[in-house]
């Protein structure tokens, strides 16, 4: 395919173009060789190869000067421009420096991940990287696969939902593992499985899913729970629980935080269920590779202290 698209480039060693440019600018093999840190014989040999490739003498010696041919004069502006452009574009990416970074990161969240992750994250990140900005986005599905692959978001903070599958272009790490507990109003004295099944429930469905992990576990046991309210937001639910006889199953870390704002009682989940895993998803070819890698390191450091 390259032969078809760039036939001229296939015939020329592109390393010869800086030689042409240096000789044209300095009109001297010696000065050009010094600039390119080459011997004069090596530069003369390179110039000879370029003359053969382009089928033109390119330069004529007149006294101590190398005078360009008509063809060389025509080529010179284009070669100089191309070398300048490539030199600017092919600069290696600098190492990420949080203190001077000004990146703006698009992060897909639920209100749970924003509530449980971002207070601790901002406390840690702001003193280290005051110029970094975040735009948090609620998305209608998990794990924001389409948006991550399209580069519309840089990270996704999500949790294990049904039918999640690994994707070869995504990095996935478990940020935190938690257990489910049940919150109720303060009047409840106990919570058995029978009590749990007899009660009405508030269920958070951030992606409008019809069935959650706990429903699957209950179904395996031959039970179903009575869902009175489905809501995409976790933050209003505890206040509904506080003023009703309904129950709500949520991760322990969230329950303990919410119990500081609402009058709630926390009970162990009265049946076995898989752990609640908060995950961090990122694209392996992210355009913000340095900052996303650094941010994941900060998130993992926070998780280690929680």
pLDDT, residue 160, reads 57
pLDDT of residue 71: 96
From 56, 89, 122, the end of a domain falls on 89
Which pLDDT tens digits describe the chain residue by residue (306 residues)? 445 655 666 778 889 999 999 999 999 999 999 999 999 999 999 999 999 999 999 999 998 899 999 999 999 999 999 999 998 888 777 788 999 999 899 998 888 888 888 888 999 999 999 999 999 988 766 667 778 878 888 888 877 554 455 677 788 888 888 999 999 999 999 999 999 999 999 998 887 777 788 999 999 999 999 999 998 888 888 899 999 999 999 999 889 988 988 999 999 999 999 998 888 888 877 656 788 889 988 988 887 666
**CATH classification at residue 74:** 1.10.10.10
Statement to judge: residues 185 and 160 lie in one domain:
no
Calpha distance 206→189 (Å, rounded): 30
Q: Looking up tokens 């749970």, which residue turns up?
A: 112
The pair of structure tokens assigned to 121 is 């994250």
Interacting residues of 96 by C-beta distance below 8 A, sequence separation 6+: 290, 291, 293, 294
CATH number at residue 223: 3.40.190.10
The reply to whether the predicted model has a pTM over 0.85 is: no
Same domain (yes/no): 11, 83: yes
Q: Using an 8 Å Cβ cutoff, are 166 and 282 in contact?
A: no
pLDDT (0 to 100) of residue 2: 44
**pLDDT value, residue 167:** 73
Q: What pLDDT, on a 0 to 100 scale, did the predictor assign at position 59?
A: 96
Q: How far apart are CA 180 and CA 273, in angstroms?
A: 8
The answer to the question of residue 99 being in a domain is no
Whether 300 is in a domain gets the answer yes
- Domain shared by 16 and 45, yes or no: yes
Contact 270, 159 (CB under 8 A): no
- Cβ-Cβ contacts under 8 Å for 151 (sequence gap 6 or more): 283, 286, 287
Find all residues with CB under 8 Å of 198, minimum gap 6, and list them: none
- Residue 158 shares a structural domain with residue 201: no
């Amino acid at each position: 395919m390259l032969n078809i698209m760039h036939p001229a480039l296939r015939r020329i060693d592109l390393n010869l173009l800086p030689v042409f440019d240096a000789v044209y600018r300095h009109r001297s093999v010696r000065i050009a060789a010094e600039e390119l840190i080459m011997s004069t014989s090596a530069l003369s040999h390179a110039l000879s190869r370029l003359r053969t490739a382009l089928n033109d003498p390119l330069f004529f010696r007149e006294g101590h000067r190398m005078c360009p041919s008509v063809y060389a004069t025509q080529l010179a502006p284009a070669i100089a421009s191309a070398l300048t452009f490539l030199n600017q574009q092919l600069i290696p990416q600098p190492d990420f420096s949080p203190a001077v970074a000004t990146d703006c990161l698009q992060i897909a969240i639920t209100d749970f991940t924003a509530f449980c992750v971002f207070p601790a994250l901002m406390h840690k990140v702001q003193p280290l990287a005051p110029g970094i900005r975040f735009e948090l986005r609620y998305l209608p599905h998990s794990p924001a696969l389409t948006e991550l692959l399209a580069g519309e978001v840089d990270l996704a903070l999500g949790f294990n939902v049904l039918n999640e599958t690994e994707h070869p272009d995504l990095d996935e790490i478990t940020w935190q593992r938690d257990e489910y507990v049940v919150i109720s109003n303060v009047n409840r004295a106990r919570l058995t499985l029978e009590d749990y099944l007899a009660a009405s429930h508030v269920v958070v469905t951030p992606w409008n899913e019809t069935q959650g992990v706990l429903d699957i576990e209950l179904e395996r046991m031959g039970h179903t729970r009575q869902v009175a309210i489905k809501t995409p937001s976790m933050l209003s639910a505890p206040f509904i629980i506080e003023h009703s006889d309904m129950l709500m199953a949520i991760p322990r870390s969230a329950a303990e935080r919410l119990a500081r704002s609402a009058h709630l009682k926390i009970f162990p989940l009265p049946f076995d269920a898989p752990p609640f895993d908060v995950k961090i998803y990122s694209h392996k070819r992210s355009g913000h590779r340095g900052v996303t890698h650094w941010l994941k390191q900060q998130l993992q450091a926070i998780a280690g202290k929680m």
